[in-house]
Structure 1
Amino acid sequence: MQMVLEAGVTGDRIIFAHPCKPLSHLQYAQQHQINISTVDTEFELFKLKQHFPNSDDAKICGWPLGKKFGCEAQTDTAALILLARSLQLKIAGTSFHVGCECEDLEAFVRALSTARELYDVGKMLGYDMNFVDIGGGYHGGNNEFFKKIAKTISSSLDLYFGNEPIKCISEPGRYFVEAAFTLVCKITGKREMRNALGQLESIMYFINDGKYGSFIDTGRDFSNVMYFSENHLEQQKYKTTIWGPTCDSTDKIVDNLYLPRLHRGDLLAFPNMGAYTLCLASKFNGIPLPKVVYYQQQN
């Protein structure tokens, strides 16, 4: 909130979207007239009533993001709307997030269908819930799939809200930054695994970044890794495991790749490493953070 305010954005354009708010943060929001926030439990509604009674609006988070946040729309959300009404809190609308890099297009359809159901519930109770936050987590390195997501969302908005006077916003942070960075790592060591006949079966490579650094998000797909070598490379590829640089035996990046026989000093490049990488990295074991180098691609 402080960073956005310092960028010149006024409080009435900021949403305090974390469903679980420390009191000190809530007090800061109140001081700067940041009046819209997100709630997903009755405890947050009581917290708003007690510590920020003059807040203008609350968004009911009606789509679960894993098991940590959100509420079950069919069983919990109507009760939250009724509780908000009894506490004399205004409700601006609904908010959902189907999860980062979600490839289930039907998840967006279901979420917007649920948002319309809650919109109608709010109408019956006298609320003008015309605010719909469709979340984020969109792929930033796959434009073709993003077009499919956009088409699905647009058609679902037309289907479920038609000409209703709603205001739709999104949270496309990942989309903007994911493809902005390519991580380049150097192979610092290797181990070749051979069978009883001495035939090479698999190779382990050790590189200068790992899961305590840029690879903290280990659920990524690294099948598009690129490699660069000044040496002649064989055509044959071998089962490959890539390890990070720390002394932690769990510092493994990936073990299901097939790469040619590379050498110490060769480079591995991982595209689409702009989201949830460097911002989460640490210097565990004294390993320095990667340097950021800017370049301009020539046409």
Structure 2
Amino acid sequence: MRKNHTLRNVVVTFIPMLVYMIGITLMSEPGRYFASGGMTLVVRIIARRIHNQNYKSQEEIIKLERSFSLPTNSLVQAANTDQSAMSEQVLIECAENIYYINDGIYGTFNAIIFDHKVFTVHYLKIGEQESNPEQYKSVIFGPTCDSIDCIAHSIDLPLLEIGDVLWFPDAGAYTSACASDFNGFKTKKYMFIWKG
């Protein structure tokens, strides 16, 4: 709703001025704006590794001898540097829990690679619900055997079970249209839900 209000303000305020007063022609390609909100991606946890044996604190990771050094003590900042491969490994080593889901980078999440999209992660526990569950640093991987098939690094999630659901809103733009069947994982099932 806020997106529509903001875009409306821009259109109403600036378009008449640009077109009539300055005499320019305005062209745009708002595909992502219109398509993104049209799909919510829902996946299941198909495997997990809890209490990761390789788990290390941020301080332990920073002290490790490496052929290159971290540019900062912040893992989040490190993940945003050009040292992405090393940063991703650091974030995975810092994960307490690792989850594997039934879709990945070669499927609907390809926008992470091609568009640098950051998906917002929500969860739904199938079993007993806690009102304020403890959060753990977690990593989410897709189903393939490729190490690049990583959906999220170092995110806070409660302890989840196999069969629990993760959902990602605003997944309608440049996601399923670009999915492949890499490693034999077929395109997922789509359900259309109309509010009315």
**2:78 matches 1:220:** no
| Structure 1: 5+ residue stretches without partners | 1-142
Partners of 1:229 and 1:160 lie apart in 2 by 50
Aligned to 1:231: 127
Partner residue of 1:178?
36
Partner of 1:288: 186
**One-letter amino acid of the structure 2 residue matched with residue 208 of structure 1:** N
Counterparts of 1:145 and 1:178, CA distance in 2: 11
- Pairing 1:112-127 to 2, within 5 Å after superposition: none
CA drift of 1:174 comes to: 1.5
- Equivalent runs, 1:1-299 vs 2, <5 Å: 143-152=1-10, 154-163=12-21, 167-192=25-50, 193=52, 202-218=96-112, 219-223=116-120, 225-234=121-130, 235-297=133-195
Do the aligned partners of 1:233 and 1:260 also contact (CA within 8 Å) in 2?
Answer: no
After superposing on structure 2, the runs of 4+ consecutive aligned residues of structure 1 that deviate more than 6 Å are none
Structure 1 residue matching 2:111: 3-state secondary structure: coil
3-state SS of the aligned residue for 1:184?
Answer: strand
Whether the 8 Å CA contact 2:18–2:24 is kept in 1: the answer is no
Write out per-residue CA displacement over residues 34-82 of structure 1, whole angstroms, 9 at most, x where no aligned residue.
Answer: xxxxxxxxxxxxxxxxxxxxxxxxxxxxxxxxxxxxxxxxxxxxxxxxx
Question: Which amino acid in structure 2 is aligned with residue 242 of structure 1?
Answer: I
Two-structure CA RMSD over aligned residues (Å): 2.6
- Taking only the aligned residue pairs, the percentage that are identical comes to 36
Which amino acid in the other structure matches residue 227 of structure 1?
Y
Distance 2:194 2:18 in 1: 43
Q: 2:84 maps to what in 1?
A: none
Q: Structure 2: how far apart are the matches of 1:250 and 1:275?
A: 21
For structure 2, the residue ranges without an aligned partner over 5 or more in a row are 57-94
Structure (1 or 2) with the larger CA radius of gyration: 1
Shift, 1:267, TM fit: 1.1
SS at the partner of 1:240? strand
Matched residue count:
152
Q: Which structure carries more strand by proportion?
A: 1
Q: How many angstroms apart in 2 are the aligned matches of 1:227 and 1:211? A: 19
Q: Which amino acid aligns with 2:42?
A: V
Contact 1:233–1:262, Cα closer than 8 Å, also in 2? no
Give the Cα separation in 2 of the matches to 1:169 and 1:160: 11
* Residues 1:205 and 1:173: Cα distance change in structure 2 (over 3 Å): same
Conserved? CA contact 1:215–1:277, under 8 Å = yes
The CA distance in 1 between the partners of 2:187 and 2:4, in whole Å, is 31
| Displacement of 1:271 | 0.9
Residues 166 and 222 (structure 1), Cα distance of their counterparts in 2 relative to 1, 3 Å cut:
closer
SS at match of 2:33: helix
Hey, what's the Cα distance between the residues in 2 that align with 1:146 and 1:279?
A: 24
Which is worse superposed, 258-267 or 153-162? Answer: 153-162
The higher relative CO (CA closer than 8 Å, separation ≥ 6) is in: 2
Letter of the structure 2 residue corresponding to residue 220 of structure 1? K
Cα distance in 2 for partners of 1:291, 1:205 equals 21
Cα displacement (A) at 1:158: 4.5
